Chains A and B, each alone.
Chain A
């Protein structure tokens, strides 16, 4: 019971691939210089070359030029640079209105809240039951004072994929900048800046079996961004600080290792768990769209039971998953995403997220369903809720 561990929380963190570590190693032990030292000694030149090379890998992957991609410490920093950087650049010149959605992840939603305190006006677009924004509402919300639209590529909790192609065209048409948080879609879904009119893209290595603490930001050439963290002149004078070369090298390696076959395999796991849980466990609801969702994401509410109780029981059986329950969150609030899709506290309270990665197997997926069914049955016996409804489904 306490032997094998199964990690189904790959949107929180992933096991790093050994090949990524191997690629990083030389930059810890052999050449640990930074690119800033390129005019002082040869190690600096090697470091500069290594950084340029991997920057090119990342940029090319997005269909961008190398000078349009900067490395950061992760998607949190990338989104902060985007939102606050654009706000500083255009706040006085053009306007102080920003549009986002109610179900964005914390780096975006907490950045907009911080900007509100600085006098910016933020429109938080509603989403429908599946988590999609309404394109007409977006169009209507844009005014001549709007400087930025920030809509995620796919949702961190319920996996819903927004139509960023259409969102981008609306922004282009209205002459407004468009930022998207692609933390969970990067390498898993097509994202090419030559096809999609997007100006800023936040990405991270931690979701794709790369190292933690490294991420990136695509900045379309000419996008007005004011640097607000002070330091050196690194990363085209937008993101100061020592270059994390081992991290950047690891990030590029992680990107190279993702294959479409692998993504297809994750999607098969996703579909299997959704089909089996909904069929085999009564009183369950899928959160998010059935198929316009991340290939690696499943989010299901088990009614009449609480999420942290489920995760703890699963943990004892060797499975790591997460929940949108208030009891689990650091702020003791229910998931704003589940609430955002018209769910109530009850729906958030019993919601469980399963996210898959390279090291998961179909066998693990099949095993968890039976274990879940047992756990839910036991917890429902303790619960004061849903007794009559459960009788009905017997």
Chain B
């Protein structure tokens, strides 16, 4: 039999580690939503002295890449300090799984986002972050690095697909260097909106395509 995934991905898909919820979690987050596809919830317990992740659990409403990435990041993050765990990115997770298909990058990024958001949730609840800052174009560019270009498995910024970006009065305009009828144009548009719209001071996100 042949599978589109590595042995390790299949192993984590079949037997995901650290599945479930933590009742009295110190930090928790859900990324994605049923309406846009995959969804991941991450729960963490934090050792208050050492600032390390003492326990972590996840749940996934997603495809094989999503489940396997959720599983691997719980293994990678367990025992790490919060700062170390924040460094875990899609590349780290993908490498730990022996590689993921490029077209599946967007499904697995969600799990990594889930971990980061759970840590952020802990920090917010424990007064470790300062109050809301106004969104800058830099912050938007940073978020666009989390939107994957399914053609290459790399993000939109790295593959130079973001041709223009304007932020004015809470309205973001982004020009993507793909034709409007492109195979992935709708899916990229949805993901860009999903990443930028939750920012507290953003009212509207307009995604345009070239040509």
Contact = CB atoms under 8 A, between A and B. Distances in A.
A and B held together in a complex: yes
Interface of A: 2, 113, 117, 304-309, 312, 315-316, 325-328, 330-334, 344-346, 349, 381-385
Contact of A2 (B1, B41, B181): B1
Among A306, A325, A326, A328, which residue has the most Cβ atoms of chain B within 10 A? A306
Contact of B184 (A308, A316, A331, A383): A331
Contacts of B107: 327
Contact of B35 (A304, A328, A330, A345): A345
A385 B184 CA distance: 27
A383 B61 contact: yes
Given A306-B63, A309-B63, A332-B187, A382 B34 contact: no
Contacts of A330: 183
A327 B63 contact: yes
A325 B34 CA distance: 11
Nearest to A327: B63
B41 A309 contact: no
A331 B3 contact: no
B79 interface: no
Given A312-B13, A332-B150, A382-B67, A306 B187 contact: no
Contacts of A325: 37, 63
25 contacts: A306-B61, A306-B62, A309-B13, A312-B13, A312-B63, A315-B3, A327-B37, A327-B38, A327-B104, A331-B186, A332-B150, A332-B187, A333-B187, A334-B37, A344-B34, A345-B34, A345-B35, A346-B34, A349-B34, A382-B60, A382-B67, A384-B39, A384-B40, A384-B61, A385-B61
Contact of A381 (B19, B66, B150): B19
Contacts of B94: none
Interface in B23-82: 30, 34-41, 59-67
B181 A331 contact: no
Contacts of A306: 37-38, 61-63, 66
Contacts of A328: 63
Given A330-B183, A331-B187, A382 B64 contact: no
Given A306-B66, A331-B184, A332-B150, A384 B30 contact: yes
Contacts of A312: 3, 13, 63-64
B103 interface: yes
A333 B35 contact: no
Contacts of B30: 384
Among A117, A312, A344, which residue has the most Cβ atoms of chain B within 10 A? A312
Contacts of B103: 332
Given A330-B183, A332-B103, A383 B37 contact: no
Contacts of B3: 312, 315
Nearest to B188: A332
Contacts of B184: 331-332
Nearest to A381: B19
A327 B109 CA distance: 13
A385 B39 contact: yes
Interface in B73-111: 103-104, 106-107
Given A113-B181, A332-B106, A384-B41, A326 B60 contact: no
A119 B15 CA distance: 53
Contacts of A331: 183-184, 186-187
A330 B40 CA distance: 22
B118 to A, nearest CB: 13
Nearest to A1: B1
A345 B36 contact: yes
Nearest to B150: A332
Nearest to B64: A312
Contacts of B63: 306-309, 312, 325, 327-328
Nearest to A5: B1
Nearest to B13: A312
Contact of A309 (B34, B36, B67): B67
Contacts of B66: 306, 327
Contacts of A349: 34, 37, 61
Contacts of B21: 384
Contacts of B60: 382-384
B13 to A, nearest CB: 7
Contacts of A344: 34-35
Among A315, A325, A333, A382, which residue has the most Cβ atoms of chain B within 10 A? A382
Nearest to A349: B37
Closest 8 pairs (CB-CB, A-B): A332-B187, A384-B59, A327-B63, A308-B63, A346-B34, A384-B41, A383-B61, A331-B183
Contacts of A316: 1, 14
Among A316, A330, A383, A384, which residue has the most Cβ atoms of chain B within 10 A? A384
A328 B35 CA distance: 16
Given A316-B14, A332-B106, 14 more contacts: A306-B37, A306-B38, A315-B1, A326-B187, A327-B37, A327-B104, A331-B184, A331-B187, A332-B103, A332-B187, A344-B35, A345-B37, A383-B59, A384-B40
